[in-house]
Structure 1
Amino acid sequence: MSESSSASVQPNTAAEPGDAGQRAVVRAPVASPFAYLGRQPILDRSGALDAYELLFRGGTRNRAEITDEASATAQVVARTIGQIGVQAVLGAHRGYVNIGRELLFDDVVHLLSPERFVLEVLEHVRLDAPALERIATLRRAGFRIALDDVAERSENLLAALPYVDIVKVDMMLTDRAELPALAAAIRAAGKTLVAEKVETQEDFRLARGLGFDLFQGYFFARPQMLRTRRARSSRAALLRLIALVARDVGVPELEAELRRHPGVIAQLLRLVNSTAYGFARPIASLREAVLAVGTRQIARWAQLLLYATGRDLPWSSDPLVQLAGTRSHFMELAARSVHPHDQPFADAAFMTGIFSLLHVMIGVTPARRMERLGLARPISDAIDRQHGELGALLRIAKAAELGDYDAMQAIVEEQGGRFTALTPSLIGELNLWAASWFSAHSHG
């Protein structure tokens, strides 16, 4: 972890003195409807942005407050990929993600694209033979490995140098008299040198003169805080997903389980459209999303969310999730009533219902809710402009939620006979069925 520490920093804007970043253990943050992510720029010798280090933030205070290292990193990854989005967080740059020993050996690291993320091995990780072998395996998979918070020419460093790509030297901890020899040894091994915790112009000039390649610290910028709506995950539901994948069930079984959990579907679409995947066409159904990601990645994602959930409330107690689940199932049932033999239309109606509330569930403005999700055009048009048959079904769903049968009837008549099957009595029944279905399947 590479956040700076300075006694001159104000407590509510940056790290307090002695903040050791992700290895710190302090009180748990107060529960909030929002989740936060920090990012600190890493600059090249010309001052241009080269990458960001992604930092856990447990609340509104811009500093590390961590009680569980694996959970903190899992939340950073989940918020970057599944909630805010890789493009929004990183743009065209790489992201450095802190990795402790537990996650170093965990399969979930493969949720990260080697082209977009650098694995930053924390300074207290024991670099024994199994750890070095694991690092070598990850490098063969395409990952770049950074060694964090180096402060001396230790035997541990010399043993690790052949296995890493980047070495981050802590400018606050390193003895100034030892810094030239330390930098020379790392450069001689052909590694990228990063000066971290650069706090003054003198630090920068010294590191630049010693041949450091990249620079990070409060002299350039404090971490920026990004905010998103907190996503709550049902641990039992995630365990069921992992168990289904372990039993090698088919796509229909996975799809059926996912339909009960709107929040996972929203994050799954983010995962599909992260830069780790190159899905060639817009997503028109949940099945397409499952096929695009693959069952192994779904299991990895569920396991990552298990790390990240902590003690969050289950989705069954979240009114937004209840509404999204009920609306999506109502729209699917209504679509089958309108076009009984058109399964793709029913699938698209379900997706429309889920994502009609996405802007509320993940905390963005309605104008940006379809951004980079890669949904099929009829679904996006239905949500953004209420166009087409899907848009009409969405309007009927909203009217049904309000009990406005006059509005429902007007929308049916507006469709010129195509929705005649949707009588007021049938709409009422479908709404009750949808609510009872979601209530029955969302517990745990």
Structure 2
Amino acid sequence: MIEDDLLQGGQVLMARQPIFNKNQDVEGYSLMYRSDDGSLPEKFTDEQATSSVILNTYALGSQNGEARQLPCYIKLTESMLLSGSIPSLPKEHFVFELLREDGISKDLVKTAKELKHQGYRFALNHFTGDKGQTVLLDAVHTVKIDIQQHSEAELKQMVTFVRPYHVDILADKVETQEEFRRCIELGFNLFEGYFLCRPVDIKGKTFGSSKALIMELLAELNNPNATVESVEQIVINDPMMAYKILRLVNSAAFSTPKQIESLSHAIALIGMEQVKKWATLFLLSGQSGKPVELTRMMLTRGRMCELLAEMLNYENPINFFIVGLLSQLDAMMDMPMTDLLDQVPLNDDIKEAILTRSNPMGNILHEVATYEQGEWDQLKGLLEKPYYEVAYRHSLQWAQQVLESLQE
């Protein structure tokens, strides 16, 4: 399947970054992309091919376990817009993000307004409060402000200035939860950045009692003498965990649904290594106060690490999955990573990979984290770049399936 996707996918690299509202629900995705020469990929002008890839992967989110389409933000320069090379994509599913260039021509303003009347949506990228940009405010639906480039007083002034235009005001490059809260107070209503992936330092926090059984299960799964029966004796003490294991066997995450005769039968069908994977997921899912999107990011990263390990014929790809999944555990649990790993019964190589990214598992983690952020020039090149994009796309789809299975 991955080989088929490579034949169809070309040389375009794509990744996505979520755009949140005040409740940290995802409102859309900012699409990062680059073709080999750095220009707008030719495939983006092919409505059928591009729409299928983006809408079925990069624009797909979930809420309460159900899949939903979310708008994708695609960057365009003025020259792209005026040349008529605007992608022929469904208007209702895309927001075209106008990159800020030197000066704003009358032709740009005229074209943007005409396209807005036709149903296209635009976002103005890197709004600075410059009066020259004001002429575009009537043509856009969203104004995007880089909060790292302005003081709090400047941000407040810009928000006040654009509010009468009835546009969404998007805070870009929000890096911490404190910045997120400050932007809400300033009047922003959309937020983009890596703040969700950063922990809030809560000293002295430990795993709650609700996680103790999962910790016991992980310890048993790391015991070389563990059996299906010994694992079953732990799982049966948590009805919800038992229910989830039974449910997962028949979920889209497994290719062939089975008729289950008992809990031990389900465990045997899944396999001990896979139960280890799912136990780790149970440790994370439903964590109080954390958005579903963080779980999605962790799932995607874990699966992509596993896929790259499989492509490279590394042994024990399940361990690469766990490295990727747990690499953002500090953000999920709001605890320092070193303290967290002291409480998780994992081998030293896995812990070293997460903390230092120095061994083969750590190298794969570095590659995946680099790809996620669109820093493709920083990839070490363990594989040809198209393999990364296909693995990322498959991982997004897999994470969606898992979320639908884990959520009630």
Q: Indicate the structure whose relative CO is greater, using CA pairs within 8 Å and at least 6 residues apart.
A: 2
- TM-score under structure 1 length normalisation: 0.39
Q: Which is greater in Rg?
A: 1
